[in-house]
Amino acid sequence: MSRTLVTGGAGFLCSSLCDRLLQDGHDLLCVDNFYTGSKRNIAHLIGNPYFELMRHDVTFPLYVEVDRLFNPACPASPVHYQNDPVQTTKTSVHGAINMLGLAKRRGARIPQASTSEVYGDPEIHPQEESYWGRVNPIGVRSCHDEGKRCAETLCFDYHRQHALDIKVVRIFNPYGPRMQPNDGRVVSNFIVQALRGEDITIYGDGSQTRSFCYVDDLIEAMVRTMETGPEFTGPANIGNPSQFTIRELAEKVVSLVGGRSRLLFQSLPSDDPRQRQPDIALAREALGGWQPTVPLDDGLRHTIAYFRELLHA
């Protein structure tokens, strides 16, 4: 039985990763400082003899016995990562140093969860891994974007210098149940506003595009990444290549919720990317033919049902 560590394990995405790893027979250590994670997301796992929860901040070293570790820990929504930008950068950079150091001591395999934000406001479309990105290094989003870029740098330097078995995946716009209602991400924003009968707030004219990937599809890719051989390091894009404008997303949410919310347009935030779409050819090849299977409408229905229950609990 593999002893596996997941950082940020009580978050929206990684709590589902914890579910999957336990189902697959891992002995699991979940680490979270609960800055953005929620005990509600992993409460159902308490009492499982193969699940252990530790409150810990990855900006501090961690000394545990593990064979494998996933390192996604970092605030991922603008509301959270801009609230304390210095801590956000420290989480990505110091967190990567500490987890890579742990992996080096243990000889452990380490998939690093990076982000599509390393591409910034891209000049090519769709984005492929060979593109170096267009990121503002001093903007309000740079604490997250540059922090993740530095974490990737550290991964590959540990790989070259210490032959560490790394895997880097760049996640594109995940959504699904267990998102926080106040996290500021566009999917949760639109759903919560629609369920409350409020106007839907769109920043800019709504023509900017995103590629939304349902949580189950992303977890499948992350699990497959862990099982690849040492010859595969990435970085690899994992996401859904189907792209939608923000306005199209808002209209879908209003239609599925069935309310009368109107669309309210406001100024576009600084450095907000105009387009986002992954080229997933590398992931499809390296991860055994993996590709997303959940259409946006179906994923939105599941997510709306979750928020409907949460808001009326």
Would you state the pLDDT for residue 312?
A: 87
- Looking at the predicted structure, is the pLDDT value of residue 176 above 70? yes
- The residue length of the chain stands at 313
Would you state the pLDDT for residue 184?
A: 87
The answer to whether the bond into 292 is cis (omega within 30° of 0) is no
Structural Rg of the chain based on CA atoms:
19
Phi-psi region of 103 (alpha: psi -120 to 50; beta: other; left: phi over 0): alpha
Would you state the pLDDT for residue 75?
A: 84
- Residue pLDDT, tens place only, 274-311: 999 999 999 999 999 999 999 999 999 999 999 999 99
Would you state the pLDDT for residue 260?
A: 86
Tokens of 175: 């959504």
- C-alpha of 111 from chain center: 13
The DSSP element (H or E) to which 90 belongs, if any, is helix 85-106
- Give the residues across from 32 on adjacent strands: 55
* Burial (Cβ within 10 Å: 0-12, 13-18, ≥19) of residue 284: middle
CATH fold group of domain 3-311: Rossmann fold (3.40.50)
- Looking at the predicted structure, is the pLDDT value of residue 313 above 60? no
pTM higher than 0.75 = yes
- Residue pLDDT, tens place only, 13-32: 999 999 999 999 999 999 99
- Looking at the predicted structure, is the pLDDT value of residue 3 above 70? yes
- Residue pLDDT, tens place only, 67-108: 999 999 998 878 888 889 999 999 999 999 999 999 999 999
Would you state the pLDDT for residue 269?
A: 81
Across 261-286, average pLDDT: 92
Across 245-259, average pLDDT: 95
**Residues in Cβ contact with 206 at an 8 Å cutoff, skipping those fewer than 6 apart:** 245, 246, 247, 250, 263, 265
Three-state secondary structure call for residue 237: strand
Tokens of 271: 């450095």
| Residue 147, φ and ψ in degrees, nearest 5 | -60, -45
The Cβ of residue 149 has, within 10 Å, a number of other Cβ atoms equal to 22
